[in-house]
């Protein structure tokens, strides 16, 4: 265990660095980790509009994974936007083969951009994500919308998160963190594993951000790789992100959405 090798982000490429691979790398770097990244998709966006995305070719993804993993020890992988069922299958096949050698795998099952654009291509994608990737993941970090979509159950009250998290746990992951359940003044994040469950509550912030899910899951992976227990890593990652967002609220850098790293 430990920090001898690389942490790797497999996610979409956002040219502004506000989300995806670039943001993940910035987070890993702030934690002092050696970081690599493989883009799964190329997005066309800025902080005001999302114009579209396209997947990288399956051959590229497959070969990049092979080249990096055959050359460097990988301590952890964070998976974000994947986009297509074809590329989800390639990542699943890679994890099936290499998982034993990798200490931690975190999945942020990204389905929609904050600017309300779909980040997956077909319903077949969700099926492959659940069957071919979830079984190899230590912690999955959906927001409420993603958790609802993946579990096929709506959240009407906070307590519904128990059943939803349980459904996601049954897909083969070790722990589930559902982020962003909102009450009047507060945001609640929910931790669920076979032997523990609890809520973390934070005051709502007034800023408009995207990439918060990307940054949270990357910070979570960083703390896991540094040796913290999952519950501790969760609390620390949340506090770290909250601190960064509070600072960025003063800068207001960006259009509709603000950058925070």
The footprint of ligand PXL (CB under 6 A) covers 11-12, 14, 19-20, 43, 45, 50, 80-81, 110, 113-114, 210-211, 213-214
**Least distance in Å: CB of 56 to ligand PXL?**
12
Cα 213 from Cα 45, distance rounded (Å): 17
* Identity of the residue, 5 or 11, whose beta carbon is nearer to ligand PXL in the bound complex: 11
* Residue whose C-beta lies closest to ligand PXL: 12
**Least distance in Å: CB of 101 to ligand PXL?**
26
* Identity of the residue, 5 or 137, whose beta carbon is nearer to ligand PXL in the bound complex: 137
Question: Taking every pair of C-alpha atoms in the chain, what is the biggest distance, in angstroms?
Answer: 50
**Least distance in Å: CB of 16 to ligand PXL?**
9
Cα 116 from Cα 130, distance rounded (Å): 22
* Identity of the residue, 45 or 179, whose beta carbon is nearer to ligand PXL in the bound complex: 45
Cα-based torsion angle of the residue sequence 202, 207, 208, 210 in order, rounded to the nearest 10 degrees? -50
* Identity of the residue, 84 or 114, whose beta carbon is nearer to ligand PXL in the bound complex: 114
* Identity of the residue, 103 or 245, whose beta carbon is nearer to ligand PXL in the bound complex: 245
**CA-based nearest residue to 109, from 156, 171, 42, 67:** 171
**Least distance in Å: CB of 64 to ligand PXL?**
16
Whether residue 76 contacts residue 225, with contact meaning beta carbons closer than 8 Å, is answered with yes
CB count in 10 Å sphere of residue 115: 15
CB proximity list for 107: less than 8 A, separation 6 or greater: 78, 79, 133, 134, 137, 139, 140, 141, 173, 217
**Least distance in Å: CB of 53 to ligand PXL?**
7
């Amino acid at each position: 265990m430990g920090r001898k090798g690389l942490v790797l982000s497999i996610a979409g490429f956002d040219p502004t660095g506000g989300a995806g691979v670039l943001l993940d790398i910035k987070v890993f770097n702030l934690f002092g980790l050696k970081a690599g990244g493989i883009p799964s998709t190329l997005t066309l966006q800025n902080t005001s509009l999302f114009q579209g995305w396209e997947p990288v070719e399956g051959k590229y993804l497959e070969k990049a994974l092979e080249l990096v993993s055959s050359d460097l020890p990988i301590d952890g992988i964070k998976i974000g936007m994947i986009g297509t069922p074809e590329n989800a299958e390639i990542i699943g096949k890679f994890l099936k083969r290499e998982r034993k050698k990798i200490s931690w795998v975190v999945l942020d099952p990204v389905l929609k951009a904050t600017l309300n654009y779909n980040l997956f291509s077909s319903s077949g994608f969700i099926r492959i994500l659940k069957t071919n990737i979830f079984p190899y993941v230590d912690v999955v970090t959906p927001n409420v919308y993603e958790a609802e979509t993946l579990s096929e159950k709506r959240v009407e009250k906070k307590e519904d998160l128990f059943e939803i998290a349980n459904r996601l746990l049954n897909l083969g992951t070790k722990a589930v963190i559902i982020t962003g359940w909102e009450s009047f003044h507060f945001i609640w994040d929910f931790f669920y594993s076979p032997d523990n469950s609890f809520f973390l509550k934070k005051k709502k912030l007034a800023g408009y951000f995207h990439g918060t899910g990307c940054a949270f899951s990357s910070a979570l992976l960083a703390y896991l790789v540094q040796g913290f227990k999952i519950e501790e890593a969760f609390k620390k990652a949340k506090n770290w992100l909250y601190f960064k967002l509070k600072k960025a609220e003063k800068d207001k850098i960006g259009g509709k959405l603000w950058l925070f790293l």
